Amino acid sequence: MPKISLNQSSILLLALIIFSCSKKRVIEFPETNLAEQHLIPQPLEITASGGGFALDEFTAITTSINAEGFEAVGRFLSDKIRLKTGLQLPVNSGKSKKVETIISINYALKDLGNHEAYELSISGDSIKLDANTAAGAFRGIQTIRQLIPEQSNDTLTTNPVWVIPTGEINDAPQYQYRATMLDVSRHFFSVEDLKKYIDVLSYYKINHLHLHLSDDQGWRIEIKSWPRLTEVGGSTEVGGESGGFFTQEEYTDIVNFAARRHITIVPEIDMPGHTNAASVSYPILNGNGKTPELYEGTAVGFSTLNTRSDTVYKFVEDVVRELSALSPGPYFHIGGDESHVTKKEDYIYFVNRVEKIVQKYGKRMIGWDEVANTDIDSTSIAQVWASRENAETAVAKGMKVILSPANKAYLDMKYDSTSRHGLNWAGFIPTDTAYIWSPESYLPKENVLGLDAPLWSETISNIDELEYLAFPRVIGYAELGWTIESNRDWDDYKVRLANQAAFLERMKVKYYPSPVIDWNAGNKPTTLNIQN
Ligand code: TNX
């Protein structure tokens, strides 16, 4: 085992460990290098200083008390450390427990330039995390979590130690919107499924979860003023399975669970197309005099709302009002894709009118890229999935764009021809193809709000199947959204990704063991050299 040169604080720490354990233990730190710790997303700047911080039962967490949300971030970290290591670290506790190393989470006095930016300064006896907001602090503690080895470095003792390498990290995201979308309409997923997914996404600094809550095959959110939407429209899903929906209380539970992870839920009600389930519930909505039937197939583009009906706008307003009140985030997604049976002039009229309703309830409208062809404001956002021309039209209108190019960023595309689930209309997307592209060269950075990787659910009906398509690719999208291009490199990333296996397995995530990753390259725990 190579020795490292111990700096003064490490020597002090070493002495403390020996003393505190009141055993004659001599600990040699393994060689630790902060710059080689398999972090995802890769941070902006890392400076390693070659020492080690000992996380053990004599570590305590302190946080700024008056800065909103900081103490909650400290408690979240303490919980996650307990689940990983069994250590119970006190948070802002004045109690008399012996404390030898400190993790302090501080409201930063200087401007870090970005609300999610953070700085970490790790020495032999302290980890100092500075951020301007609780969101920044929360991103920073994900880095701390990732720096804690999955196994303690010294397994032969009753006082195990987890060694974190010393140095500095300055970090901030390149895009403010780093999302994944889940289609809960084609197949429904439970509150528990969503919580499991959200918790893992937050470890990789994803900050928005876009929920596709309605489509031809199912309406999934309770709207109190239009109860048949879920009573009738929520009863089916693709393939004849049983459907389901979130009550408003359940949706709020998801919103709050996500908010504790500084993840914003972006609700989508897809209109005027993709509305068969709504029109089955209330046949007046489609305006063609026919009562449609519940639909369990996968074709798209056959349904529309009646864009010239006051009842339809009353319906839209009720839905936007109720759902906006439950969604504290700034965005409301109106869909707007594949309205193949809506006349062009009707589509334009509809989107223009719905944009005003969304704004009336204090939200910023997002729509799939087709909405760029209407007369909407520059404050609305186009989500590009299919058409570069629509992206350019949106930019010409001064709108911001969210990037979701289907041939790179669709989580529902098969990895290859042998994939158990998924579609392939946009091509196969193996794990390397998902990572090796440049959102930065798609459009100038100032026009791009960020990235969203959609997971459509025609071919998946439970959390195992969801995880098969999402992992490991969504981890790569998290990095594309956070890390600048000059810090990204596939050969380096694939080793960092291999090192996520132990975490994913501990979280019981059934990821696809992509053959382009050497999963055995990761997770070699370094052991401390201890002599009793
Ligand atoms: C296209 S992407 C759709 C969805 C499908 C998806 C399947 C988009 C805006 N519309 O309705 O589920 O393809 O990959």
Rounded to the nearest whole angstrom, what is the distance from the C-alpha of residue 211 to the centroid of ligand 1?
13
Task: Please report the atom of ligand 1 found closest to the CA of residue 274.
Answer: 11
Last residue of a domain, one of 137, 171, 205: 171
**For 179-225, what is each residue's pLDDT tens digit?**
999 999 999 999 999 999 999 999 999 999 999 999 999 999 999 99
- In 3D space, the residue among 331, 330, 333 whose CA is nearest the CA of residue 271 turns out to be 333
* List of the chain residues with pLDDT < 50: 1-26, 525, 529-532
Q: Which of 116, 222, 268, 338 is catalytic?
A: 338
pTM of the model: 0.94
In terms of Cβ atoms closer than 10 Å to its own Cβ (0-12, 13-18, 19+), residue 307 is buried
Task: Say whether both 143 and 280 belong to one domain.
Answer: no
Residue 522's pLDDT is what? 73
Instruction: Count the domains in the chain.
Output: 2
Last residue of a domain, one of 171, 205, 228: 171
Task: Say whether both 293 and 436 belong to one domain.
Answer: yes
Task: Say whether both 218 and 350 belong to one domain.
Answer: yes
Residues spanned by the domain of 462 = 177-512
Residue 531's pLDDT is what? 43
Task: Say whether both 347 and 489 belong to one domain.
Answer: yes
Dist CA 351 CA 375 (whole Å): 8
- Could you tell me if residue 7 is inside a domain? no
Q: Residue 159 in 3-state DSSP?
A: coil
Task: Please report the atom of ligand 1 found closest to the CA of residue 300.
Answer: 11
Compute CA 282 distance to the chain's CA centroid, rounded to the nearest angstrom.
Answer: 35
Residue 359 C-beta-side C-alpha neighbours within 13 Å: 12
Residue 459's pLDDT is what? 98
- In 3D space, the residue among 302, 220, 288 whose CA is nearest the CA of residue 254 turns out to be 220
- Could you tell me if residue 433 is inside a domain? yes
Task: Say whether both 161 and 230 belong to one domain.
Answer: no
CB under 8 Å, gap of 24 or more: what pairs does 323-327 form?
A: 323/213, 323/221, 323/223, 323/267, 323/269, 324/358, 324/361, 324/362, 324/363, 325/361, 326/248, 326/251, 326/252, 326/255, 326/267, 327/255, 327/265, 327/266, 327/267, 327/363
Task: Say whether both 309 and 412 belong to one domain.
Answer: yes
Give the mutation target among 183, 300, 333, 469 for probing the ligand 1 site: most ligand atoms within 8 A of CB.
300
Residue ranges lining ligand 1, Cβ < 6 Å:
300, 337-338, 368, 385, 410, 412, 423, 456, 458
Task: Please report the atom of ligand 1 found closest to the CA of residue 186.
Answer: 12
Dist CA 144 CA 41 (whole Å): 13
Measuring from atom 2 of ligand 1, which residue has the nearest CA? 385
Task: Say whether both 208 and 230 belong to one domain.
Answer: yes
Residue 153's pLDDT is what? 81
- In 3D space, the residue among 71, 63, 200, 84 whose CA is nearest the CA of residue 475 turns out to be 200
Residue 109's pLDDT is what? 85
Dist CA 138 CA 171 (whole Å): 12
Rounded to the nearest whole angstrom, what is the distance from the C-alpha of residue 272 to the centroid of ligand 1?
15
Instruction: Output the domain CATH number for residue 329.
Output: 3.20.20.80
- Could you tell me if residue 487 is inside a domain? yes
Pairing of the two strands 118-122 and 126-131:
antiparallel
Measuring from atom 7 of ligand 1, which residue has the nearest CA? 456
- Could you tell me if residue 2 is inside a domain? no
Dist CA 371 CA 148 (whole Å): 45
Task: Say whether both 479 and 354 belong to one domain.
Answer: yes
Dist CA 86 CA 56 (whole Å): 10
Q: Is the peptide bond before 444 cis (omega within 30 degrees of 0)?
A: no
- Could you tell me if residue 525 is inside a domain? no
Measuring from atom 6 of ligand 1, which residue has the nearest CA? 456
Whether 121 and 128 have beta carbons less than 8 Å apart is answered as yes
Measuring from atom 5 of ligand 1, which residue has the nearest CA? 456
Measuring from atom 11 of ligand 1, which residue has the nearest CA? 300
Whether 114 and 8 have beta carbons less than 8 Å apart is answered as no
- Could you tell me if residue 528 is inside a domain? no
- Could you tell me if residue 406 is inside a domain? yes
**For 103-146, what is each residue's pLDDT tens digit?**
999 999 899 989 999 999 999 999 999 999 999 999 999 999 99
DSSP state of 6: -
- In 3D space, the residue among 326, 374, 318 whose CA is nearest the CA of residue 350 turns out to be 374
Task: Please report the atom of ligand 1 found closest to the CA of residue 335.
Answer: 9
- Could you tell me if residue 439 is inside a domain? yes
Task: Say whether both 167 and 182 belong to one domain.
Answer: no
Rounded to the nearest whole angstrom, what is the distance from the C-alpha of residue 41 to the centroid of ligand 1?
27
Dist CA 127 CA 104 (whole Å): 6
Catalytic status, residue 338: yes
Task: Say whether both 48 and 187 belong to one domain.
Answer: no
Residue 96's pLDDT is what? 66
- In 3D space, the residue among 303, 149, 135 whose CA is nearest the CA of residue 219 turns out to be 303
Dist CA 43 CA 484 (whole Å): 9
Rounded to the nearest whole angstrom, what is the distance from the C-alpha of residue 446 to the centroid of ligand 1?
27
Give the mutation target among 338, 424, 425, 469 for probing the ligand 1 site: most ligand atoms within 8 A of CB.
338
Last residue of a domain, one of 137, 156, 171: 171
Phi, psi of 7 (to 5 degrees): -80, 175
Task: Say whether both 150 and 205 belong to one domain.
Answer: no
Instruction: Output the domain CATH number for residue 45.
Output: 3.30.379.10
Task: Please report the atom of ligand 1 found closest to the CA of residue 457.
Answer: 12
Task: Say whether both 102 and 249 belong to one domain.
Answer: no
